[in-house]
Chains A and B, each alone.
Chain A
Amino acid sequence: MTTATDNLASAGTYTPSAAAEFVEAARLCFERAARAAGGVRERRFQVGERSVLLRFAGDQLVPLMVRALAHLEEPSALRPDLTVCFFDSESTGTPMPAPPWSREQYTNLGEIDGYNNGQVHVTYTPGVDILHCLDRERGLAVYWTPTFRLIPWWEQSFPLRSILNWWLRDQPFQPAHAAAVGRPSGGVLITGPSGTGKSTSTLACLESELQYAGDDYVLIRTDPSPFVFSLYSTAKLEADNLQRFPHLAPLVSNADRLEREKALIFLHEHHPRKLSGGFPIRALVIPKVTGRKDSTMETIPPAAALLALAPTTTKHLLGTRRETVEKLMRLVKAVPSYRLLAGTDLSQIPVAISRLLDGLNPSGAS
């Protein structure tokens, strides 16, 4: 049986650790898959302040990975900061060589024991069969799955989530489980565990003057000043919550699968002007559904905001917990925090947020 590291005979002079060797072997396999599939498809995106190049072996994974990022697409001839190579074995007819690790090295969170260090991260997500590997020094990642047919629906809503998290570990950027709405002069980060009203509060703002930078994962910059960048143009809603947004129902991309998937909407395809690339963060907002009609804001201690934002972010972003928490602590200390007591009259939610921004931004600049 040929293993991935055996392929390094053709990898030239590159001979770092076993983990880095595996990334190179995976890249070589991608190149073979691309030749078999008739070539490489390349798409370029601006993620935060970085340039990211996505390379695909063949066509099958392109729509699945690109659709949520389409609003960030930006052709550029500059050298990319990060290159991610995507392939699947079924559509390219190219098998991934056997892994150089044993079955005992799979951990329950998917990280491969011995293949995660300061330079390289390798995970194999249990149950969904997706391999992510990244060599941070090279700015190179490989994404492989046995078949494009089994990519889960949520993966399409936040592609690259894990790879971006590892790649940005030592930089003042952090993917965060939060939504963001605001104006060019500043906006709010809306966060909290799933089911606390984050998406409802965010989507309620679509009919208002506020712009939308994301409803699930956004990219935070902590220094030199708090800023949020849009990552994904998707909006996600529980199917039974869709009745509160009847104007969004015709936009749902997976209407035939709502018994097992959240309703998924690619907003840039329908409301491109509502999308914002980002804005300064003026406040953290933690929603709480009250059942009352009216919506109001109240101040909360920063510790409460951290406990709403950090656990839900680190839960799904593995391998960088310490760096992530430290960045989120800096953010929470830099801006005030509020609880949005969200009422049933959804039109009041953007009004409450706009009033908050008016108060924090007395100049009224927009």
Chain B
Amino acid sequence: MSTLYRINRPKVISEAFDDEVVAVNFDTGSYYGMRATALTIWNLLEYGASPQALTRRMMSLYHGDEQAIGEAVAEFLEQLRKHNLITETSAVRADADPEPAADHRGPWEPPTLSVYEDMKDLLLLDPIHDVDEQGWPARKPDQVV
């Protein structure tokens, strides 16, 4: 049986804005932007989906080579998994739409994930190691941010 994935709620929230969705991973403080085919896949992941099901749905929505679409979907899911935006799930949500959406049949473009990691430099700061005899941290001017 193939793996099912869903959005990693509640650690991740996302909001749709016209033709783009912005997701935030609260564990890391990173932000993500997704448009076009990435947005379509993200919306399907809300209900839970397998790579194969996502590929089939993309084939119904876009003109493109099946193998190329399948590989792009798998690569995109791997990116989402690496950023902990999705997690494995045991079942597709009951309210998922079983029918393909209206056939727009636009040209296929590989999904892309835009990453904004403004917290990264802060998360890499050293925690406090040295404290004085009272238990308060010893000042380290080179840690000033």
Interface residues, chain A, with chain B CB atoms under 8 Å away: 1, 95-99, 103, 106-109, 124, 126-129, 146, 150, 152, 193, 301-304, 306-307, 310-312, 314-315, 321-322, 325-326, 329, 332-333
Looking at B24, B130, B142, the one whose CB has the most chain A CB atoms below 10 A away is B24
A127 x B144 contact (CB < 8 A)? yes
Known contacts: A152-B144, A312-B118, A321-B29. The answer to whether A329 contacts B139 by CB under 8 A is no
Residues of B within 8 Å of A129, CB to CB, are 136-137, 139
Is there a chain A Cβ closer than 8 Å to B125's Cβ? yes
Q: List 29 A-B contacts (CB under 8 A).
A: A1-B135, A98-B136, A99-B136, A103-B137, A106-B137, A108-B122, A108-B123, A108-B124, A124-B136, A126-B125, A126-B127, A127-B140, A129-B137, A193-B118, A302-B17, A303-B17, A303-B20, A303-B21, A306-B15, A310-B24, A311-B29, A311-B119, A314-B118, A315-B119, A321-B29, A325-B24, A329-B15, A332-B17, A333-B17
Shortest CB-to-CB span from B126 to chain A, Å, is 6
User: How far is B113's CA from A92's CA once the two chains are assembled, in angstroms?
Assistant: 54
Is there a chain A Cβ closer than 8 Å to B64's Cβ? no
Residues of A within 8 Å of B21, CB to CB, are 303
Known contacts: A107-B127, A301-B19, A302-B17. The answer to whether A310 contacts B122 by CB under 8 A is no
Q: Which residue of A lies closest to B141 (CB)?
A: A127
Looking at A107, A325, A333, the one whose CB has the most chain B CB atoms below 10 A away is A325
Is there a chain A Cβ closer than 8 Å to B128's Cβ? yes
A103 x B128 contact (CB < 8 A)? yes
**In the complex, how many residue pairs between chain A and chain B have their CB atoms under 8 Å apart?**
107
Residues of B within 8 Å of A95, CB to CB, are 134
A127 x B127 contact (CB < 8 A)? no
B31 x A310 contact (CB < 8 A)? yes
Known contacts: A307-B22, A311-B118. The answer to whether A106 contacts B127 by CB under 8 A is yes
User: How far is B126's CA from A127's CA once the two chains are assembled, in angstroms?
Assistant: 10
Shortest CB-to-CB span from B11 to chain A, Å, is 10
Given contacts A103-B130, A108-B127, A314-B118, 10 further A-B contacts (CB under 8 A): A1-B134, A98-B135, A108-B122, A146-B136, A193-B118, A301-B20, A303-B18, A303-B20, A310-B22, A311-B29
B24 x A307 contact (CB < 8 A)? no
User: How far is B12's CA from A325's CA once the two chains are assembled, in angstroms?
Assistant: 11
User: How far is B139's CA from A320's CA once the two chains are assembled, in angstroms?
Assistant: 26
A307 x B127 contact (CB < 8 A)? no
Q: Which residue of B lies closest to A100 (CB)?
A: B135
Shortest CB-to-CB span from B24 to chain A, Å, is 5
Residues of A within 8 Å of B36, CB to CB, are none
Encode B1-44 as 1/0 by CB contact (under 8 A) with A.
00000000000010101111110101001010100000000000
A301 x B137 contact (CB < 8 A)? no
Is there a chain A Cβ closer than 8 Å to B104's Cβ? no
User: How far is B134's CA from A193's CA once the two chains are assembled, in angstroms?
Assistant: 38
Is there a chain A Cβ closer than 8 Å to B101's Cβ? no
User: How far is B122's CA from A152's CA once the two chains are assembled, in angstroms?
Assistant: 18
Q: Which residue of B lies closest to A124 (CB)?
A: B137
Is there a chain A Cβ closer than 8 Å to B145's Cβ? yes
Residues of A within 8 Å of B142, CB to CB, are 127
B141 x A109 contact (CB < 8 A)? no
Residues of A within 8 Å of B33, CB to CB, are 303, 307
Residues of A within 8 Å of B22, CB to CB, are 303, 306-307, 310, 329
Known contacts: A108-B123, A303-B33, A326-B13. The answer to whether A127 contacts B139 by CB under 8 A is yes
B134 x A301 contact (CB < 8 A)? no
B17 x A96 contact (CB < 8 A)? no
Residues of B within 8 Å of A106, CB to CB, are 127-128, 137
A302 x B18 contact (CB < 8 A)? yes
Q: Which of A109, A128, A332 contacts B125 (CB 8 A)?
A: A109
Is there a chain A Cβ closer than 8 Å to B131's Cβ? yes
Q: Which residue of A lies closest to B144 (CB)?
A: A127
Residues of A within 8 Å of B26, CB to CB, are 321-322
Shortest CB-to-CB span from A97 to chain B, Å, is 8
User: How far is B30's CA from A315's CA once the two chains are assembled, in angstroms?
Assistant: 10
Residues of A within 8 Å of B82, CB to CB, are none
Known contacts: A103-B128, A315-B122. The answer to whether A126 contacts B140 by CB under 8 A is yes
Q: Which residue of A lies closest to B120 (CB)?
A: A315
B134 x A98 contact (CB < 8 A)? yes
B17 x A315 contact (CB < 8 A)? no
Encode B80-110 as 1/0 by CB contact (under 8 A) with A.
0000000000000000000000000000000
